[in-house]
Amino acid sequence: MIGVFDSGSGGLTILEALHRRMPEQDFLYLGDHANAPYGHRSNERIVELTREGVETLFKAGCSLVILACNTAAAVALRTLQQKWLPRAYPGRRILGVLVPMVEAITGVPWSQEHPGESAAKPTGKTILLFATQKTVNSGAYLEEVAKRAPNIRLVQKACPGLVDAIEGAAGARPLKGLIEGYVQEALEDAGSKPDAALLGCTHFPLARPYFESALPMGMELLSQPNVVATSLEGYLKRHPEFAHKGTGRVRLLTTGKPGDVNLSDSYLPPHLCEFEGPPAKAV
């Protein structure tokens, strides 16, 4: 069984893409709604909450967990992989959504940190990155893209309040207004027309139509769910020990109260709509 962890409901965009691409896999989703959002929390607290969520999924029978939260992946993934996982669960794996996106942006495999190692160097371009304040402050995307493709200019734009608006089903008008403001500011920061844009928070694809209408017509908007699904599919082919075929069952857990998970029907895929919970806390 494959686990998917998110600070709230944004990771459902990743889960839906994974389930669609690999319908034979069993998935267990855990949304930490009781502590969402993560964007305003300290790095230490984000690491702690992410570890607790991952451990809950491990104890429920998952051998592989996807951090479907850019903030958790940017702040906590490396620490958990290097300092906690080898000691606590040496046979398990934790993957994040940041790595596949960096590969998609640069065209350079994660194992190659320097474009000089590749015969085909990525062409210079400007890409807008919309993310939470914590993801922007971490500098993770800037650092990893610069290692592999220093001629790519990444213009970051933090979008404070947008996760709260999406989680709270704020409605079309408030979301549209917020997103139009952030897009306009990002375009001004870029100075010239960017080549593409990236939604660097798994909540943001839930409001993708508003980004598409606010961005210049014809601009490519990279789809994080599809990129992550493609990446995981490749990973499971390379590591078949984690590709346990099941019945295609999908379960949703929340650390909060299921009835308090407020999502608009227009955002959530219809077959992923009922949460259970809260799960037993890992000890």
Q: Which of 62, 69, 159, 273 is catalytic?
A: 69
What are residue 126's phi and psi, to 5 degrees? -115, 130
Report CA Rg, the chain: 18
Q: What is the DSSP letter of 245?
A: B
Query: Are the CB atoms for 184 and 197 separated by under 8 Å?
Result: no
Measured distance CA(99)–CA(105) in Å, rounded: 10
Tell me if residue 201 is catalytic.
Answer: yes
92 CB-side CA count, 13 A:
24
Q: Which residues of 51-73 are buried (b: 16+ CB within 10 A; e: fewer)?
A: bbbbbbbbebebbbbbbbbbbbb
Reply yes or no on whether 273 is catalytic.
Answer: no
Question: Do residues 71 and 39 touch, judged by C-beta distance below 8 A?
Answer: yes
Q: Strand order of the sheet with strand 125-131?
A: 152-158, 125-131, 196-199, 220-222
3-state DSSP call for residue 94? strand
Q: Of the residues 62, 159, 201, 273, which is catalytic? A: 201
Residues ≥6 apart with Cβ < 8 Å to 173: none
Q: How far is CA 127 from CA 42, 224, 265, 274, in A?
A: 28, 14, 31, 36
Report the catalytic residues.
69, 201
